[in-house]
Amino acid sequence: MADERAQALQQLAGQVRICLECRLGATRGVAVPGEGPLDAELLWVGEAPGAAEDAAGLPFVGASGRFLRHEMHEAGLDPAAMYITNIVKCRTPGNRRPRVDEIAICTGLYLVRQMALVAPKAVVALGATAAGALLADTVKMTQEHGAWRQDYNLTAQGLPVFITYHPAAALRSERWRAELHADLQALADGRWRMAYG
Ligand code: URA
């Protein structure tokens, strides 16, 4: 079973790497499927690969990724135990926000299947774009960071979604940095497992 899931996840990554289903296929460097162990308890979702990820083919390896992994360590969360991916798997031109059709195509083809295969206990939405794509109703980040929601937009799985800032946004604001830090500490204390685990 685990072997089959691992194989399916690998196949999916192969499909992502050659994907031309939306316009981003024409401008990206390397598509970035995501990475992490099959039995990850938490699946983290960012917005889209940046320049460093588009060159490396790996998620969150640039400045915001280094900061995110640092914050995970600080909170006592092991980045190597997390499944880390993005709403869209290709870099957007000039790092613009992914468009509605790009999000719909990419999540429908890939993220939904990744979530089903990894079957995490919960999803962490990094930033308003990820949270907005995962959840049915608009997310007001400054009010809802650190909160859990289950008004799921993508599937009927009903996975709980933890909302926090995108690390790139947190790098730009001392206040958001402190709030992201506190959010990850709260996530790491594990009390959510009593409600959702
Ligand atoms: N920002 C994201 O949202 N995802 C990455 O993989 C890198 C930067």
Predicted confidence (pLDDT) per residue in 125-175, tens digit? 999 999 999 998 889 999 999 999 988 777 656 789 999 999 999 999 999
Report pLDDT for 157. Answer: 67
Q: In angstroms, what CA-CA distances link 50 with 61, 65, 78, 86, 130?
A: 9, 10, 22, 11, 15
Q: Is the CB of 98 under 6 A from ligand 1?
A: no
Tell me, using a 6 A CB cutoff, whether residue 87 lines ligand 1. no
Centroid of ligand 1 to alpha carbon of 158 (angstroms) = 24
Task: Decide whether any atom of ligand 1 lies within 6 Å of the 167 Cβ.
Answer: no
Task: Indicate whether 50 pLDDT > 70.
Answer: yes
The arithmetic mean of pLDDT across residues 57-61, rounded, is: 98
Determine if ligand 1 sits within 6 Å of the CB of residue 132: no
Ligand 1 nearest-atom number relative to CA 46: 3
Nearest ligand 1 atom to alpha carbon 166:
3
Is the minimum distance from the CB of 71 to ligand 1 under 6 angstroms? no
Q: What is the residue type of 127?
A: G
Edge-to-edge order in the sheet of strand 42-46: 83-86, 42-46, 122-126, 161-164, 148-149
Q: Are 83 and 8 in contact (CB under 8 A)?
A: no
**Pocket flag, ligand 1, residue 120 (CB < 6 Å):** no
- Let me know: does 179 contact 146? Beta carbons within 8 Å: yes
Distance 59 CA to ligand 1 centre (A): 6
